[in-house]
Amino acid sequence: MTAANCIIRSAVAEICRPWLRHILSHDEWTALAHAAGAERWRLLAHWADMVQSHALFLDPDAETVVPVSTPVEAGHYPALSPILPAAAWYERMIHDLWGHEATSAADLRPWLDHGHWPHSPPLAARSEPRPSGEPPMLSGPDAGEAMVLPLGPIWGQVDEAAHLRLTLNGPAIVRAEALLGFTHKGTLTLMRGKSPRAAARFAARLCADATVAHAVAFAQASESAMDITAPPRAVGLRIVMMEIERITAHLDNLAEVARLADARAIRTHCSYLREILLRASDSAFGHRLMMDCVVPGGIAVDIAEGGPQVILRALGDIASKLPAIRRLHDAPALSSRLIGLGRVDREQAAAFATSGVVGRASGNSFDLRTVFAAGYQDIAPRCTVHADGDAAARQHLRLREIEESIRLIGAVLDILPPGAVTVQVPQVSGEGIGCAESIRGDVWHWLRLDHGQIAAAFARDPGWALWPLVERVLEHASADDIDLIRASFALPASGMDL
Amino acid sequence: MTIRMPRSELIEPVDSETSESLVSRLEAAAQTRLGRSLAIRHVNTGSCNGCELELRALNNVLYDLERIGLRFVESPRQADVLLVTGPLTRNLRAALEQAWDATPEPKWVVAVGDCAVDGGVFKGSYAVLGGAGLSVPVDLTIGGCPPPPARVLAGLRTLLEANAK
């Protein structure tokens, strides 16, 4: 048995369906972090509640998920970041929201808290009013006469709010530092005290281009906590919605990258195809983005009469245009622009637990649909991997994933069982974890119910893995390429700002 | 051989009253037909990205925003319209106000989506102030979560009409 597994086996465990959450002492917690680093476990998420700090690991060999917790004593718990660098931003977030300090953390600057909230920390048992004043958010300027290029929070043409500060040496970026938290809406506080049905609205609004994935992960977490399962028809239709979301988002990304690279034809094709699919989902599910269509216990409404045909027709249009789009993509005008751009090597991607298109484009084959995601076993999703790790590889992979998603939707609709689409939601207590493969990678939701009401919750967006990675990637890039690199990573903001 | 002159009627002087009325009609038509163009700067004040997705759809060939004289620009200094999406978070209030200050007069503010109208589902959160109207004067609201592109387009066209008058 491996060292990490030994530590876990000997610990007390609580039920956190579908897994066990192991309660570790501070020493065991630190020992586990060392073992996890050595055994290449992935840190999937790191969060807290009022009395404990939690971490979610993936054991890649056993293909199992390991939730662990350690008590917070006198406002402190041992930091993971000196051992696992990917934990650094989570620790800053935990400090801002719950007020727990990670002892000997790599970085203790605020993250979400920009000094404007009326009281803090907002999720602590005792939240104090505090004087206004802006805390130091970014590290000091570099020594010497370095030129600093600040971008955002209002940037791009129509974009999310985030701030990126680049230190330049001529056109080359020497250092990139991201600052997020601008779109922090207090989602976790709003969820607290509500029933899962009522709180699903907030889960669906964490990140709109992955609204279905977040809603599915949240619904699964609630269903696990209540120990119920959604009816098979609802599980099938959830997959249809998630794959439609993936196709529309990938088309949007292809269009956006094409716009920035001046490839008009691709942009026109992709944005048109995206629109016809959005219209199809509007007539099938009643909402263009399928927001609020997934609820704990099933889905909000069954697919409309004739809905499957409308969707399949739109998918047929997309499938018939894909070869032409791929040809345009491979033409030298665009491919010479994208090859080698924003390259991520396999080690880097693994270090930040990057999954999704970015992870798979750099040789990491992790895809939740092939392991934990409910309902996918029957349709055998194929996970495509690319080795190059650059923007061209990511765009190629997006095209491949569109193809695969079209196949998956057809397969699900073929075997879609009749029956109810929702089950009764009991008013019980419990704890659960849910996950879904979103357009950018794995989404994880955790929640604890107290007599049918949410006592604590956390949502992990793939952005937590993408942003720190992009900071590293930009360090070797040219400042002229920044928009294109950012677009090819499809960087989110709202989902991780909570 | 003599060249025969055409026997055209003599030209009377034009009726100045009619010509003036024509000039004024042409000017009015030009103002409404040609002078209607607005540059839009999108300002995200904490959106979940849903409104942005629908705003991006306005650029596709089916809506084609630019055919009616609307376009997105990259700086508030070039903008006539600030198009605000998302509930106004405390962390983005200063950014919105700076964008408003940087936009030259005359300017319009359009709040797109339920969140920008009054805070939407995020009303009452410690991190959210409410609608964009709490920080800058809003001229037009377009509700919906998110509003479909057709509705955004209809709203923006009313703004064009108003601007042309």
DSSP A369-431: HHHT-TT-GGG-------SS-SHHHHHHHHHHHHHHHHHHHHHHHHT---S-SB-------EE
**Domains present along chain A, CATH in parentheses:** 3-125 (3.30.460.80), 187-497 (1.10.645.10)
**A402 at interface of B, judged by CB pairs closer than 8 A:** no
Query: Among A260, A251, A248, which Cα is nearest to A334's?
Result: A260
**A111 at interface of B, judged by CB pairs closer than 8 A:** no
For CA atoms A438, A442, A447, A452, give the dihedral sign. positive
Provide the residue type at A113 as one letter. D
Give the residue on B whose Cα is nearest the Cα of A208. B50
Size of interface A-B (CB pairs under 8 A): 141
pLDDT class of B99 with cuts at 50, 70, 90: very high
pLDDT digits (tens, 9 = 90+) for A447-480: 999 999 999 999 999 999 899 899 999 988 898 8
**A309 at interface of B, judged by CB pairs closer than 8 A:** no
Mean confidence (pLDDT) of chain A: 89
**B90 at interface of A, judged by CB pairs closer than 8 A:** yes
**Average pLDDT for residues A136-150, to the nearest whole number?**
68
Q: Torsion-angle region of residue A151: left (phi > 0), alpha (psi -120 to 50) or beta?
A: beta
Query: Among A75, A77, A66, which Cα is nearest to A25's?
Result: A77
Rounded Cα–Cα distance for residues B112 and A84 (Å): 41
Dihedrals φ, ψ of A70, to 5°?
Answer: -140, 145
Between B103 and B164, the more confident residue is B103
pLDDT digits (tens, 9 = 90+) for A79-125: 999 998 889 999 999 999 998 999 888 888 888 888 888 888 888 88
Rounded Cα–Cα distance for residues A103 and A280 (Å): 52
Provide the terminal-to-terminal Cα distance of chain B, rounded to the nearest Å.
62
CB < 8 Å from A in window 132-151 of B: 145-146, 148
pLDDT digits (tens, 9 = 90+) for B10-21: 777 888 888 888
Percent of chain B predicted with pLDDT > 70 = 92
Between B162 and A404, the more confident residue is A404
For domain B27-164, give its CATH number from 3.60.40.10, 3.30.110.30, 3.40.50.12280, 3.30.450.20: 3.40.50.12280
Provide the residue type at A11 as one letter. A
pLDDT digits (tens, 9 = 90+) for A160-198: 888 888 888 888 998 898 888 899 999 999 999 999 999
pLDDT digits (tens, 9 = 90+) for A275-322: 999 999 999 999 999 999 999 999 999 999 999 999 999 999 999 999
Whether residue B95 and residue A154 make contact (CB cut-off 8 A), yes or no, is yes
**A383 at interface of B, judged by CB pairs closer than 8 A:** no
pLDDT digits (tens, 9 = 90+) for B109-146: 999 999 999 999 999 899 999 899 999 999 999 999 99
**Average pLDDT for residues A41-65, to the nearest whole number?**
89
Contact A374, A235 (CB under 8 A): yes
As for the ipTM of the complex, it is: 0.90
A119, A185, A252 ranked by CB distance to B89: nearest: A185
How many CB atoms are closer than 10 A to CB B31?
13
Rounded Cα–Cα distance for residues A416 and A429 (Å): 32
Rounded Cα–Cα distance for residues A77 and A102 (Å): 5
Rounded Cα–Cα distance for residues B109 and A198 (Å): 32
The set of residues, in sequence order, having a beta carbon less than 8 Å from that of B11 and lying 6+ positions away, is: none
The residue extents of the domains of chain B are 27-164
Question: Measured between CA atoms, how close is A435 to chain B, in angstroms?
Answer: 20
Contact A25, A8 (CB under 8 A): no
**B103 at interface of A, judged by CB pairs closer than 8 A:** no
The residue of B45, B51, B58, B60 whose CB has the most chain A CBs within 10 angstroms, and thus the best one to mutate to test that interface, is B60
Q: Torsion-angle region of residue A408: left (phi > 0), alpha (psi -120 to 50) or beta?
A: alpha
pLDDT class of B1 with cuts at 50, 70, 90: low
At A455 the pLDDT is 94
Query: Is the pLDDT confidence value at A403 over 60?
Result: yes
Query: Is the pLDDT confidence value at A25 over 60?
Result: yes
